Amino acid sequence: MTYFEFLNTYGPQLLDGAVTTALQTLLAAALAIGIAVVMGLMRLSHNRFVYGAATVYIEVFRGTSLLVQIYWIFFVLPLFGLTLEKFTAGYIAVGMNLGAYGAELVRGGILSVPRGQWEAATALSMSPAIRMRRIIFPQALLKMLPPWGNLLIELLKGTALVALISVTDLMFVARKINGTTYLSAQAFGSALIIYYVMSRSVITPFMRWLERVMTRKLGRA
Amino acid sequence: MKEPVQKEYPRQLEGEKVPMVRFRDVTKRYGDLVVLDSLDLDVDEGEMVTIIGPSGSGKTTVLRMLMALEKINSGIIYVDGQPMTHMPKNGALTWADEKYLRRQRTNIGMCFQHFNLFPHMTALENCIEAPIQVLVLNKKAAVERAEGLLDMVGMLEKAGEHPSRLSGGQQQRVAIARALAMRPKVLLFDEVTSALDPEVIGEVTQVIRKLVNKHNLTMLMVTHQMGFAREISDRVCFFYDGKIEEQGPPEEIFGAPQSERTQQFLGAVLEAT
């Protein structure tokens, strides 16, 4: 069987899998960004309880394996009465995990905004909320974008693990094809290429574009 | 800052002329280092007071305490007759909380050595942001006010530019307009010309001169420009070791300083220029 014949036969399945992977990535990324912003801000709180809660979250999700977290959310939470569909469990686990990494990027980005900006906002009587939303965060965002590009690629690759709870993503499909045909090189080779294309020609250009847009918007072009 | 046993401070007396700014027994320490040592300082309404002194003498700290960017360790500061560092609570004065401070800060505007304009906003947006967000002015009124002020500082033509496109002198003029847009009663200048190239210092001092001549604004200025201080000030305070070593009209301080330390300082500074 030539690779062309292989693609003819299994291409549509692989494509379906890729679509699922893309969806997992999108949903997980949205969740990760939300969690990162909330946890990152909580890490800057002077309230010990708020700070502590965020620290525990970040430590737990960064310090343990993503695969174990996926299993926990899919297999263990039902024992506590919370049953999630495998697709949902997949992106939630990935999003929560990468969100913990993102929280540190948010915190670092915010702290990297020069002190003078905080003081100028304070001197103009801005409340902490207005100061963060209007002055600090927009500037922090620009500094955060490059590391976020990295993180989103990590996230895309991390979604491959949801195949292990039978979400029919790209990795799942590749494994299935391998299992029935033993065409390992073609099956996993195709998966490899598709993952690479997704990160290299979707995520990276998108982040570059976002950086350019933000830079222009922030007037530093 | 803990809630210490607070000494009784006299409220402003009826009929007494209320200074615009009043420091009473203000002490600020960083660890063991005393930056302000029981400072007493009154500034009258409309007065231009310049603070000079060697670095580390606490002059910038005076402005930062007044703006409440940092908390004082003891003493009290009044602005326009109202306590700034403290707030009335159950008939006594306790340390001001954030909300009270925020309200009191609207009385004071501050210009910084490094301008600290918001880089993601145009000159105009810099000037309307706080009036809209804090004073809840509608956008039209805020723009009108900002344009008037940008015109006054000679920056109306550059209203649509981001700070990165402006020279230091231009940025500082926008920063002055931004501070004025809040209609403060007191304006603070913290070494506003120190970070500027020599050839643009004049455009900033020109704006300050204009403010002194045309507006009844109370101003405190920390500067290293002795010539400008001499020309513009109603009073000059020479700071040394967290205290006012000597103060008086500029002609006296620069012409016939009494204190040996003042003489030494001025001698060294004038020799350097």
- The complex's ipTM? 0.90
Count CA within 13 A, CB hemisphere, residue B263: 5
- The CATH number that applies at residue A211 is 1.10.3720.10
Low-confidence ranges of chain A (pLDDT < 70): 219-221
Name the band, by pLDDT with cuts 50, 70 and 90, for residue B70: very high
Percent of chain B's residues with pLDDT above 70:
94
Q: Which of A117, A120, A127 faces B102 most closely, judged by CB atoms?
A: A127
Angle at B186 between CA B180 and CA B190, to 5 degrees: 80
B21 in Cβ contact with B187 (< 8 Å): no
Return the pLDDT at B174.
96
Mean pLDDT computed over B127-140:
95
What is the H or E stretch that residue B23 is in? strand B21-30
Return the pLDDT at B90.
86
Contacts of A25 (CB under 8 A, 6+ apart): A152, A155, A156, A159, A198
Phi then psi for residue B271, to 5 deg, are: -65, -35
Return the pLDDT at B3.
45
Return the pLDDT at A3.
85
Tokens of B42: 């009154």
Q: How far apart are CA B226 and CA B220, in angstroms?
A: 15
Assign 3-state DSSP to chain A and report helix, strand, coil percentages, each to 5.
85, 0, 15
Name the band, by pLDDT with cuts 50, 70 and 90, for residue B6: very low
The residue segments making up the domain with residue A167 are 3-217
Return the pLDDT at A221.
44
Q: Tell me: the pLDDT tens digits for B210-232?
A: 999 888 899 999 999 999 999 99
User: Which residues of chain B neighbour A139 with C-beta distances below 8 Å?
Assistant: 118-120
| Gyration radius of chain A's alpha carbons | 21
Return the pLDDT at A219.
63
Return the pLDDT at A135.
95
Question: Which of B17 and A23 is assigned the larger pLDDT?
Answer: A23
Assign 3-state DSSP to chain B and report helix, strand, coil percentages, each to 5.
40, 25, 35
Return the pLDDT at A214.
86
Return the pLDDT at B120.
92
Mean pLDDT computed over B158-184:
94
What is the H or E stretch that residue B221 is in? strand B218-222
Q: Which of A117, A126, A219 faces B164 most closely, judged by CB atoms?
A: A219
User: Which residues of chain A neighbour B121 with C-beta distances below 8 Å?
Assistant: 219
**How many contacts (CB atoms, under 8 Å) link A and B?**
73
Name the band, by pLDDT with cuts 50, 70 and 90, for residue B1: very low
* Cβ contact A125–B102 (<8 Å): yes
* Cβ contact B164–A220 (<8 Å): yes
Number of domains making up chain A:
1
Q: How far apart are CA B257 and CA A172, in angstroms?
A: 86
**Residue for token pair 């979400």:** A167
Cα dihedral A83, A89, A92, A95 in deg (nearest 10): 150
Pick the residue of B61, B133, B158 with the most A CBs within 10 A to test the interface with A by mutation. B133
Residue in B with minimal Cα distance to A120: B116
Q: Which of B105, B119, B178 faces A125 most closely, judged by CB atoms?
A: B105
Q: Which of A134, A138, A219 faces B162 most closely, judged by CB atoms?
A: A219
